[in-house]
Amino acid sequence: MKKYALYPGCLMPTEQYAYELSLREVFPLLDVKLVDVNGFSCCGEPLKSVNKMMTLYLAARNLAIGEKQGLDLFVPCPMCHFSLSECKHILKSNNDMRDKINSMLASEDLAYKGTAELVHTVDLLHDIIGVEEIKNRVKNPLKDLKLATHYGCHLIRPSEIGRPVDSENPQKMETILTALGAECSYYPEKLDCCGAPIDANLPESALTKTGQKLQAVQDHGIDALVDVCPWCHKMFDVRQGKAGETVAAKLDVPVLYLTQLLGLALGVKKEKLGLDLNLSPIDKLELG
């Protein structure tokens, strides 16, 4: 059984409980053990525009905690994954900064060595567990579902620091969903932002981005939108009604986490996957 330290980030354990519930249900079924580790904190990314040094320190601290446990990190939030990946990229090439960070970490008996690897939900499923292994374990194929994927900005770029999927034509989610029995549909707005990064400063612009993408999915006759980011899910699922008001459209798009659909296909009861926490109209779909 593969073992990873679960790095939950901030949003998943405080708001987006459905993501965590579905992760904890599906990965043991795929021979992956998620280990809870004490001491993790914010990844630092929300502070980057205020204090870049603090962002780097927080990211390195979390990586050092994982390294001290001798575990690679499973980071299901793309924003957190990006922050930790960028930290590894910077400290690999800047020894002076690495020494400075380690002098700060020494007060907690921590040291960043750069040994811990990072995995996200998508590459853990697609690259490490493998699509064929997932396909072999499907009990309830997702028949008659036409789905669209949303990868989110932090999962696809910048490619120079290493991201889990291709920046121009990501297909890993589609491959996984097809293995589960669903049909995946292309739409031109696939790589458009959800709006979350500008929500704090420009909420109307953020909701416009959200509404425009949901309207595109709806106009293409797609049954549901599938995501893998708690920030994106918050915009598309929780704030769908407000996004519709912003773009003057009646939006009625079911939005689900990839791991929720995976759980259903693996035979997990929907009550255990947090489907009752989804605020978008998932009752339109015949799920389990």
Q: What is the pLDDT of residues 7-29, one digit of tens each?
A: 999 999 999 999 999 999 999 99
On the question of pLDDT at 34 being above 90, the answer is: yes
8 assigned to some structural domain: yes
Instruction: Measure the N-to-C terminal CA separation of the chain; round to a whole number of Å.
Output: 28
Query: How many structural domains is the chain composed of?
Result: 2
Residue 187 and residue 235 in one domain: yes
Query: What CATH number is associated with residue 144?
Result: 3.40.50.11810
User: 132 in a domain, yes or no?
Assistant: no
- pLDDT tens, residue by residue, 149-197: 999 999 999 999 999 999 999 999 999 999 999 999 999 999 999 999 9
Rounded CA gap, 113 and 68, in Å?
A: 10
113 with 156, same domain? no
Residue 86 exposure: Cα atoms within 13 Å on the Cβ side: 21
pLDDT at 57: 97
Q: Is the pLDDT of residue 95 over 90?
A: yes
State the alpha helices, DSSP H only, in 32-171.
Answer: 52-68, 78-93, 95-105, 121-123, 131-136, 153-156
Q: Kindly state whether residue 63 falls inside one of the protein's structural domains.
A: yes
Measured distance CA(217)–CA(223) in Å, rounded:
8
pTM for this model (two decimals): 0.97
What is the identity of the amino acid at 22?
A: S
The whole-chain average pLDDT of the chain stands at 97
For residue 273, which of 286, 256, 285 has the smallest C-alpha distance? Answer: 256
Cis bond leading into 158, ω under 30°?
yes
Do 83 and 196 fall into the same domain? no
- CA atoms of 259 and 264, how far apart (whole Å): 9
Residues in contact with 220: Cβ distance below 8 Å, sequence separation at least 6, in sequence order:
148, 185, 187
Among residues of the chain, what percentage have pLDDT more than 70? 100
Do 152 and 273 fall into the same domain?
yes
Q: Both 102 and 204 in a single domain?
A: no
Pair 57, 142 in one domain: no
Average of per-residue pLDDT across 234-239: 98
User: Predicted confidence band at 130 (pLDDT cuts at 50, 70, 90)?
Assistant: very high
Q: Is the pLDDT of residue 288 over 70?
A: no
Its domain, for residue 47, covers 2-119
CATH of the domain at 10: 1.20.1050.140
Cα angle 254, 119, 210 (rounded to 5 degrees) comes to 30
